[in-house]
Amino acid sequence: MLVKALDVLEKYFGYKSFRKGQLEIVNTIIEGNDVVSIMPTGGGKSICYQVPALLLEGITIVISPLISLMKDQVDSLKENGINALYINSSLSSKEFNKAIEEVKNDEYKIIYVAPERLESYEFISVISQKNISQIAIDEAHCVSQWGHDFRSSYRRISSFIDMLQRRPVITSFTATATEEVREDIIKLLRLNNPEIFISGFDRENLKIDIVKAAPKNKYLLEYLKANKDVSGIIYAATRKEVDSIFELLLVNGFNAGRYHAGMSDVERAENQEKFIYDKIDIMVATNAFGMGIDKPNIRYVIHYNMPKNIEGYYQEIGRAGRDGLESECVMLFTPGDVHTQKYLIEMSTENPERKSLQYKMLQSIVDLVHSNSCYRKYILNYFGENYLGDCGKCSNCNNLGELIDKTLDAQKVLSCIYRMRRSFGATVIIDVLRGSNNKKILDLEFNKLSTYGIMKNYSKDELKNFINTLISHGFIDSVEGTYPVIKLNDKSFRVLKGTENVTFKEVKIKAKTMINDNLLDKLKLLRRLIAQENKIPPYLVFGDETLREMSVKIPKTKEEMLNISGVGEVKYDRYGEKFIKEILDYVKEAAKSLDGNDKEKKFLKISTDEELYLELVKLRGTLAEKEGQLPQYILSRNTLKEISGRYPNTLEKLKDIGGIGNKKLELYGEKIIDLVNNYVEEKKLEVEWYDKGSKKTIIDGEERKIDEIAVDFLKEGKEIEDISKEVEVSISTILGYVTDFILAGNKFEVGLELDKFINEVEEKLIMDACDKLGYKSIIQLKKHLPNEIKYEAIRAVILKKYIVV
């Protein structure tokens, strides 16, 4: 039977061998045993029931809740020379009657059916008379109320099976199921001593990034520019967000579509088809899109918002890289995402038990976001898989930051929670630690605690992130609910007693890009033309993995082409010679000439040497103290970073650094050069110098200007005083950035606490001056007002009274 299974696999699907875990499942089904298979999305579940379907006598019924999957699977089977059919609500009465007649005449080996159709009298009366060899249940987690996607129609599958003349082999498949859900699958589908196969939840080809420090739209546009001409999905939490992102992409020239429940059925179907047929590269969607989309060449999945649970998240990222090629999964996170998901939970159900479960699942993904260790390990452990070591591929593993002992800061947080005596939410704890004069804090007399104001050096966001990271790593507990509260646990007291340390890694995030070679591009173009001619999706011709293997192995004969994974006899007869001709033409062209001349690059990219940078900061501080100046007036932060990343060892080279003019070269040049040379010698560095010329400098991947950075920080909820220190510009200048940003027609929906920069007397004087002189010239207003009125007070009044924040 093994030989026959391999023959079927190669003849119809073009593969020479089964993937890991598939053969054992196939053999078990052929031997007549029920099966529960937990296999990651893209792991090849369909092969596990399709190969036995072709070997067993009789019909295989595949039950699936996904109309789009049925169509894709049936189209793919037909393209491979296999008779298949789907029956679901997309069929008209005429189409349904025709399908039933064809089933009567035994025209199909594999029939895909929506679970709702199992209650159709016409379907039952015909199918119950047939020899059913296998019932395969896809997305089997839908049977369990503990699953993330419960469908009541799945509860009636076992009743349908009871109506059949003879009980067939029952096989169930899912990509995401905890142990509790697996038990429900066996019990509710009434499986008979099933063999359970857990192939592992791991998708090794997926790189998981969680980005917590970037402005979403800017990051998104830069990522898409770096990953042009490949397929990707962008998920957002709400329809409104989908529409907003879609418009943003169109304005910026991207070839995108959208998909959500607020659109018409026709528009959704058209956009889905365009995406499948590679007529658009990007689909922006809610989680209503993607279940069952069997498009193998999706190279990235971006979550614009944090999803509501790990099950849904892992299923959605599983749509990337189904062909086994390296693909990226990026989640863009802001604290507001948690509030959005809580709102959606409140709106989705009134069942208190279900709601409590959803809050528990939400907390698990919040913990994932704030985990300081390997993301892959966290996810796999969540599903009950013991993953040893770290993956070395997620953004936490790839973070180049060093491990830092945070025990003291953790003890401050834990001590504060202990002294507050009863449980509160993170917001109240943060206010106490930062010394807030909030009325609630004063009424509770928390301002009298020894921990009041003990962590003023943290911004609100930084402290919230730190507390969430402590929760994620189990140092404190978050009790789920609409308004979760924080409690100490055994681990908390070990930290307080000093018997357990808290060590976290600092986070640095950078994006990767995809690379395509010339031959691969030509093969993809040929595939697209063939697909258009035959009116089928491109991946049904050949998958990306198959094309990539062709571009590496350069097959020039039929024999060589048949050795490429994904090229079976059926596919070769249809398309093989066209692809061989394209490859031979490419080889001839490549032999003629290759122009290796690169255009001059427009950017000089620099990475900060943190140790040297800190030495330069010390030197700047000494110079500033000596001259009675603020440090940033001596040399800017970016100037110091550029020096640390380029290592200028002569005055001539130092002149090539941004922010170093002749005056500063004369005043500070020798000291800087001495410091750099001593550092390079001490560290035994081999330095290669490049003149900057007309290139733009990009330091640590940051392409934004100072004003953009400051406004983005404000949008992220950072305190203006903290931003002033970080970007080394005055509060007045930052308020000026906000003014310019709004006057340029941009939306600014951040509530600024402007009253702290002015008093009533100053406000009246400034308003009188503005009535007389207008508010456009800050310099004129300053001259007109008393000397003690600061620029930041003038800016604050203008924003408050005339610009309106």
* DSSP symbols for 120-170: -HHHHHHHTTS-EEEEEESSGGGG-TTSTT--GGGGGHHHHHHHSSS--EE
The average pLDDT across 694-698 equals 77
What pLDDT, on a 0 to 100 scale, did the predictor assign at position 597?
A: 36
Residue 322 clears pLDDT 50, i.e. is over it? yes
The share of the chain scoring above pLDDT 90, in percent, equals 24
What would the two tokens of residue 772 be?
């007389």
More confidently predicted of 326 and 594: 326
**Residue 593 — very low, low, confident or very high, per pLDDT cuts 50/70/90?**
very low
For domain 706-803, which architecture applies? Orthogonal Bundle (1.10)
Domains 403-505 and 706-803 share a fold: yes
Quote the pTM value.
0.51
What would the two tokens of residue 255 be?
């070839």
List C-alpha distances in Å: 764 to 8, 228, 759, 769: 86, 54, 9, 9
Residue 596 clears pLDDT 60, i.e. is over it? no
The average pLDDT across 47-56 equals 94
DSSP characters over 525-563: HHHHHHHHHHTS-GGGT--HHHHHHHHHH---SHHHHHT
What pLDDT, on a 0 to 100 scale, did the predictor assign at position 283?
A: 95
Inter-residue contact 59 to 111 (CB < 8 Å):
yes
**Residue 84 — very low, low, confident or very high, per pLDDT cuts 50/70/90?**
very high
CB neighbourhood size of 547 (10 A): 27
Q: Which residue matches tokens 């990235």?
A: 300
Report CA dihedral (479, 480, 485, 489) to the nearest 10 degrees.
Answer: 20
More confidently predicted of 704 and 330: 330
More confidently predicted of 152 and 196: 196
Fold of the CATH domain 603-699: DNA polymerase; domain 1 (1.10.150)
**Residue 598 — very low, low, confident or very high, per pLDDT cuts 50/70/90?**
very low
Angle at 561 between CA 559 and CA 563, to 5 degrees: 75
The average pLDDT across 251-259 equals 91
List C-alpha distances in Å: 624 to 440, 628, 633, 674, 675: 42, 6, 8, 18, 17
Residue 513 clears pLDDT 60, i.e. is over it? no
What pLDDT, on a 0 to 100 scale, did the predictor assign at position 168?
A: 95
Q: Given 1.10.10.10, 1.10.579.10, 3.40.50.850, 3.40.1390.10, which CATH number is that of 403-505?
A: 1.10.10.10
**Residue 290 — very low, low, confident or very high, per pLDDT cuts 50/70/90?**
low
- 174 DSSP assignment: E
Span 429-456, pLDDT tens digits: 999 999 988 888 998 999 999 999 999 8
User: Which homologous superfamily is 206-396 in?
Assistant: P-loop containing nucleotide triphosphate hydrolases (3.40.50.300)
Looking at the DSSP bridge assignments, the partners of residue 61 are 111, 135
User: 302-316, 571-585, 776-790: which range is least confident on average?
Assistant: 776-790
**Residue 301 — very low, low, confident or very high, per pLDDT cuts 50/70/90?**
very high
The share of the chain scoring above pLDDT 70, in percent, equals 92
The average pLDDT across 681-689 equals 81
Query: Which secondary structure element, helix H or strand E, spans residue 646, and what is its range?
Result: helix 637-646
Residue 612 clears pLDDT 70, i.e. is over it? yes
Span 219-241, pLDDT tens digits: 899 899 888 888 999 999 889 99
**Residue 775 — very low, low, confident or very high, per pLDDT cuts 50/70/90?**
confident
What pLDDT, on a 0 to 100 scale, did the predictor assign at position 578?
A: 93
What pLDDT, on a 0 to 100 scale, did the predictor assign at position 304?
A: 94
Span 344-397, pLDDT tens digits: 887 776 677 777 878 888 888 988 988 888 999 888 888 777 777 788 888 888
> Closest Cα to residue 754, out of 707, 795, 712, 724?
795
> Closest Cα to residue 643, out of 699, 701, 726?
699
Residue 5 three-state SS: helix
**Residue 784 — very low, low, confident or very high, per pLDDT cuts 50/70/90?**
confident
What would the two tokens of residue 638 be?
């970016």
The average pLDDT across 406-414 equals 92
Q: What is the CATH number of domain 518-592?
A: 1.10.150.80
**Residue 296 — very low, low, confident or very high, per pLDDT cuts 50/70/90?**
confident
User: 61-75, 609-623, 736-750: which range is least confident on average?
Assistant: 736-750
- Where do the H-state alpha helices sit in 399-488? 407-419, 426-433, 439-443, 460-472
> Closest Cα to residue 149, out of 135, 136, 139, 137?
139
**Residue 552 — very low, low, confident or very high, per pLDDT cuts 50/70/90?**
confident
What pLDDT, on a 0 to 100 scale, did the predictor assign at position 594?
A: 39
What pLDDT, on a 0 to 100 scale, did the predictor assign at position 515?
A: 37
Cα distance between residue 366 and residue 370, in whole Å: 6
What pLDDT, on a 0 to 100 scale, did the predictor assign at position 349?
A: 67
Residue 622 three-state SS: helix
User: 52-56, 487-491, 507-511: which range is least confident on average?
Assistant: 507-511
The average pLDDT across 45-53 equals 92
For domain 2-198, which architecture applies? 3-Layer(aba) Sandwich (3.40)
Domain range annotation of the chain: 2-198, 206-396, 403-505, 518-592, 603-699, 706-803
> Closest Cα to residue 114, out of 55, 51, 165, 156?
156
What pLDDT, on a 0 to 100 scale, did the predictor assign at position 402?
A: 65
Regarding beta strands 403-405 and 503-505, do their DSSP bridges make them parallel or antiparallel, or are they unpaired?
antiparallel
Span 147-186, pLDDT tens digits: 556 777 888 899 899 888 899 999 999 877 777 888 889 9
What pLDDT, on a 0 to 100 scale, did the predictor assign at position 39?
A: 83
What would the two tokens of residue 289 be?
């899109």
The average pLDDT across 580-591 equals 81
What pLDDT, on a 0 to 100 scale, did the predictor assign at position 551?
A: 84
What pLDDT, on a 0 to 100 scale, did the predictor assign at position 47?
A: 92
- 69 DSSP assignment: H
Which sign does the torsion angle of CA 438, 441, 443, 448 carry?
negative
Cα distance between residue 802 and residue 805, in whole Å: 9
List C-alpha distances in Å: 198 to 52, 169, 173, 195, 464: 19, 19, 10, 10, 37
